[in-house]
Amino acid sequence: MTHKPTERVLNILNFLSISPKKLTLTEISEAINVPKSTLYPIMQTMLERNFVSLEKNSLKYSIGISAFCIGTSLYSRNKYMIEFIQKIMKDIVGNIDETCQMGVLDGNNVLYVLKEDPVKDMDIRLISRVGKRIPAYCTALGKALLSQHKIEEIKSLYPDGLKAITKNTITDFNVLENQLKKIRETNVALEVEEVTKFLRCYAVPLTSKGRIMGAVSISIPTFRATEEKNKLAVELLLKAKEKIDSVNFG
């Protein structure tokens, strides 16, 4: 169950962090769909704690020094892990010559945080990119990230149901539940043309202390997805999972 006040604070910080300009209270209110009367006291508290800053002349908000310091601290702490995972992803690409991506769960979406492309030109343009969010239920990364969730929790994440992006997108919660059970057994998630035509993706969850903290995937155009290449993708991902989990991901 989502805690609304906390969700609002996180939405404010997220929106301000990605905005290229400073924003008025009205602009923030409209962007995150929260009434100004509700938003104002939240902004005042965040302003007092320096999580946002306010330009007095224009009355526009931007991200504050406290949020910046926390972000910098987290980045410094996790810099080694990021570099470690990137190296493993580069090794994967070098072994299979296909795109490798990492994502984390952001609400009910996959947030793409790392990507390694092969040197050759892409035969199929992926709609995913670092910083992009895509519904988790229809991607291999997302299914890996959701695999520890009970189906009741997943239904609450998608109160309007599972909507089709392509004709192959899974829209039945029962089908999704069966796939998640298989992922828990094998540690491997699969998605075939559910988001992008002619693209097959495999993914594995990355865990820390028994909790899924992220996932890594390999995307293969269907016309190159031979039995041999599919098997190699699974082997590379499982080896990557073993290495990353062993150094306490997260």
pLDDT in tens, 125-180: 666 677 788 999 999 999 999 999 999 999 999 999 999 999 999 999 999 999 99
CATH class of the 78-246 domain in this structure: alpha beta
Distance CA 38, CA 160 (A): 25
Does pLDDT of 246 surpass 50? yes
- 149 vs 71 pLDDT, higher one: 149
The answer to whether the beta carbons of residues 138 and 165 sit under 8 Å apart is yes
**Which range (9-18, 39-48, 177-186) has the least confidence?**
9-18
Does pLDDT of 250 surpass 50? no
Residue 87 Cα distances to 79, 191, 240, angstroms:
12, 25, 10
- Residue 155 tokens read as 């239904």
Q: Of 34, 87, 44, 92, whose CA–CA distance to 64 is shortest?
A: 44
Distance CA 221, CA 179 (A): 21
Listed as own residue / partner, the contacts of 237-244 with beta carbons closer than 8 Å and 24 or more positions apart are 237/92, 237/188, 237/202, 237/203, 237/204, 238/187, 238/188, 238/204, 240/88, 240/89, 240/92, 240/204, 240/216, 241/187, 241/204, 241/205, 241/206, 241/216, 243/88, 244/84, 244/85, 244/88, 244/206, 244/216
- CATH 3.30.450.40, the chain: domain bounds: 78-246
Q: Of 205, 192, 207, 218, whose CA–CA distance to 89 is shortest?
A: 218
pTM: 0.71
- pLDDT band for 1, please (50, 70, 90 cuts): low
- CATH 1.10.10.10, the chain: domain bounds: 4-63
**Which range (66-80, 122-136, 186-200) has the least confidence?**
66-80
Number of CB atoms found within 10 A of residue 223's CB: 10
Q: Which residues contact 118 (CB under 8 A, 6 or more apart)?
A: 93, 97, 98, 99
Q: What is the CATH number of domain 4-63?
A: 1.10.10.10
- pLDDT band for 71, please (50, 70, 90 cuts): low
Q: Percent of the chain scored above 70 by pLDDT?
A: 90
